[in-house]
Amino acid sequence: MPFKPLYEGRPKPISGFFTRSMEANWMALDVGNMQGESLQTIFHEYTHLLLRRNSLYWPLWLTEGMADLYSTFEVADKKVVIGKPPRRLLRILARESFMPLKELLEVHHESEEYNQKEHQGIFYAQSWLLTHYLALGDNPLYRARFRQFTEVLRAGQNSVAALTNTLQVGLSQLEAQLKRYYEQGQFQPVKLPMRGRTNAMTSVWIRPMPPAEMAFQLGWLLLHVERLDDAQGWFELAGRLQPGGPYGMEGLGLLAAERQQTKEAIVYLERAIGAGSRNFSVHYHLGRLRLEMALQPNGVLFQMPENQARLIRTPLKQAISLQPNCAVAHNRLGFLESVQGENRPLALRHLQTAAQLEPDNLGFVMMWARYALENGKDAKAIQALEEMARQGSQPKFQRMAKEILSKYQAGNKPARGR
């Protein structure tokens, strides 16, 4: 499988992977070499996709623990099996010392334990162990109480307080119980009977793919697993297979954008659109790059002449026309209109649409809420900021929300931000 992600310059020893992008959710499988742990990676990432809204409140240990809980999903003997222990995590638990439970509960996106390779193993393994114990373990009282954990988090308690209050147990006692659970080694999965038809067809659309488009799609897949040089070869092939068509220019433009070669990317993307591109991503990135070129070195955007604004607005609007749910295009268009200042309701509508389409993107929610407050649309914005101020999973946005609310309550409107 020549399209695998790389690790230290070599293809990873996997038979499948799952990756997400603005355009699609990609699931790539080497059907001639399927391995259990490769499927676990796919199920892990797919669980993140399904539960992504919970990440606004869930601490990282639960987000990752739940993904690994479902990573060993399987169907056997007309039963769904959830929660079998991943062998790779058991190996880590056997060779590494446990993190103190309080430290585990407090890990967030900016923590070394989450970002540095030497710490990641035990964090993931112990997160799975704690999640398995609370969700499927041998303490029925904990299993019942754990169902209320998310609601307690939503009320604003941090991970440590929410967990100990939900379970009604002290941290040291819970830590000792968790270690005993591991030492017993009885990690029983849950088995649920399958009901109804298991072979029901869903709506599937299949169409023949022209060679040039196929080359583009293979290059696009490589681009999304950060194999940029390999992607370039496929994009160039797409151009040779269909001279004058959009696919080669699309790919080379998106590749140049990924490499932050802005001027080169704009030339390719303009050519792709001139060749009839209907790829919403091409139109979006053209508008985005033109917008970024208009920014000052400090990231500030000033009001610009209408003919310059139109060059940005037109491709962003076309991206939305081709893909109405393109949240990033709504966000960038809303930002542009907010600076131009000629149609504030339109700016607010695009910013709000972006936040509604991706409520887990706190940057989008923050931008909409600040602009709404600036324009007297207080009620929903205050509600969103108050909710963000309770979300401990992303401390940066939690702090920002608290600061804006504090200034608002003091009678000062927030300054406009990107």
Using CA atoms, how far apart are residues 157 and 162, in angstroms rounded to an integer? 5
Q: How many domains does the chain have?
A: 1
Asked whether residue 113 is domain-assigned, the answer is yes
Q: Which two tokens stand for residue 264?
A: 């080169």
Average pLDDT over residues 241-251: 97
Average pLDDT over residues 267-290: 98
247-261, 282-296, 384-398: segment of lowest average pLDDT:
384-398
Instruction: Compute the C-alpha angle 301/371/257, nearest 5°.
Output: 45
Asked whether residue 110 is domain-assigned, the answer is yes
Residue ranges making up the domain that contains 181: 35-193
189 vs 202, more confident: 189
Average pLDDT over residues 262-285: 98
Asked whether residue 411 is domain-assigned, the answer is no
Asked whether residue 126 is domain-assigned, the answer is yes
Average pLDDT over residues 154-166: 92
Using CA atoms, how far apart are residues 82 and 136, in angstroms rounded to an integer? 9
For residue 82, what is the DSSP state? E
Average pLDDT over residues 60-82: 93
> Which residues contact residue 42 at a Cβ distance below 8 angstroms, ignoring those fewer than 6 apart?
16, 17, 18, 27, 29
Asked whether residue 56 is domain-assigned, the answer is yes
Please say if the pLDDT value at position 10 is more than 90. no
Asked whether residue 18 is domain-assigned, the answer is no
The pairing of beta strand 74-76 with beta strand 6-7: unpaired
The residue type of 395 is P
Asked whether residue 382 is domain-assigned, the answer is no
SS3 content of the chain, % helix, strand, coil (to 5): 60, 5, 30
* pLDDT the model gives residue 378: 81
Residue pair 29/1 in contact (Cβ under 8 Å)? The answer is no
Average pLDDT over residues 134-158: 94
Average pLDDT over residues 210-219: 96
Asked whether residue 55 is domain-assigned, the answer is yes
* pLDDT the model gives residue 204: 74
